[in-house]
Structures are given as structure tokens and as C-alpha cells.
């Protein structure tokens, strides 16, 4: 049974015109997946279209309340970590820096399995910028997250293999 995402009231799927989920079984431990998700310096190696992440207020890794800036889908985004349960769940919410009403909430659930873990990611988005991008490429966000999961899974398996060597 998967844990339920703790959606902010204005970002629940029924209130957002853009909502998608992606999932993947990964032959890597929840700890390895977690280590990659909270290390924003590693993001460009597996996160499609992310080129930089800047943690604000002196943070060196993600934790509850960490504010950060990044780029996603060619847009500069300001976000903060809003859920943080080590090795189980993390979520961040934010907005486009050029369209403050264009907001998103991206959650991750990590569930241990006999062969590694199950990754579940779910995102809601609303606002004119995200809607315009979705109209241009209706499955673009979902496909980007499919690629993200695949690349994150590969990075985790490779990290564990290198540690075992």
C-alpha cells in the first residue's frame, strides 16, 4: 500500500488542471534513492532539463523548509521542501519566477520492496505558464518524469555497484 501524498489544499489533484503520476521498480535501496534526491548537486546527472540548483539560506542538502532555485522546462523556478521523511517521502512546491501564479507541487514516495524499492512520483500544476506548456506538448511533463525515473533508477543502481566494488 502506498502512502498518500500530503497535498497542500490548493494543490490537490482535483483542483489542478495538470496532474500526473509515474512509478518504477528499482533494484536499489531506499537509502540510495534518498541520497540522490536530497543531493541537488547530483540532480543534473539524472534530472531531465535541470542544469543548476541553488540552495538558499546556507543549506547544503535538502531538508524540511529548504528553499531553492532551479530551472525546469526552461523556466526559472523558486521552490521549498514541504514534506521530508527520510528514506520514505519528500515533496517540494514552488512557482515560476516569471509567472508567480504558475505553481507546482512535486512529491516522491519511496517504498521498500524485496528487490530494492518502488518509486512513486506525482505532480500537480496550475497557472497560465504550465498550462501553455502543456498545451504545446500534452504529455511532455509526464514523459519528462518517465525519463527522470529511469535515469534516477540507473544512477542509484550504478551508485550501489560502485560502492560494492
pLDDT 10s digits, 1-52: 345 899 999 999 999 999 999 999 999 999 999 999 999 999 988 988 887 8
| CA–CA distance, 76 with 97 (Å, rounded to integer) | 6
- 20-26-28-33 Cα dihedral, nearest 10 degrees: -10
Over the stretch 105-143, which tens digit does the pLDDT of each residue have? 999 999 999 999 999 999 999 999 999 999 999 999 999
CATH architecture of 30-164: 2-Layer Sandwich (3.30)
Which residue ranges make up each domain of the chain?
A: 30-164
Following DSSP, what letter does each residue of 62-89 receive, concatenated? --TT-EEEEEETTEEEEEEEEEEETTTE
Q: What is the rounded distance in angstroms from the CA atom of residue 147 to the CA atom of residue 114?
A: 24
Q: Mind listing the pLDDT tens digit for each residue in 42-81?
A: 998 898 888 789 999 999 889 999 999 998 778 899 999 9
- Predicted local confidence at residue 2, as pLDDT: 47
Amino acid at each position: 500500500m502506498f502512502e498518500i501524498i500530503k497535498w497542500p489544499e490548493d494543490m490537490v489533484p482535483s483542483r489542478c488542471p495538470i496532474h500526473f503520476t509515474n512509478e518504477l521498480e528499482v533494484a536499489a535501496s531506499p537509502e540510495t534513492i534518498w541520497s540522490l534526491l536530497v543531493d541537488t548537486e547530483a540532480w543534473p546527472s539524472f534530472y531531465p532539463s535541470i542544469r543548476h540548483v541553488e540552495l538558499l539560506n546556507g543549506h547544503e542538502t535538502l531538508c524540511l523548509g529548504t528553499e531553492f532555485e532551479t530551472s525546469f522546462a526552461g523556466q526559472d523556478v523558486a521552490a521549498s521542501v514541504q514534506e521530508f521523511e527520510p528514506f520514505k517521502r519528500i515533496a517540494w512546491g514552488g512557482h515560476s519566477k516569471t509567472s508567480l501564479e504558475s505553481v507546482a507541487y512535486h512529491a516522491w514516495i519511496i517504498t521498500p520492496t524485496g528487490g530494492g524499492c518502488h518509486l512513486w512520483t506525482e505532480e500537480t500544476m496550475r497557472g497560465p505558464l504550465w498550462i501553455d506548456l502543456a498545451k504545446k506538448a500534452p504529455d511532455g511533463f509526464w514523459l519528462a518524469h518517465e525519463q527522470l525515473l529511469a535515469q534516477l533508477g540507473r544512477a542509484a543502481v550504478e551508485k550501489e555497484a560502485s560502492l560494492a566494488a
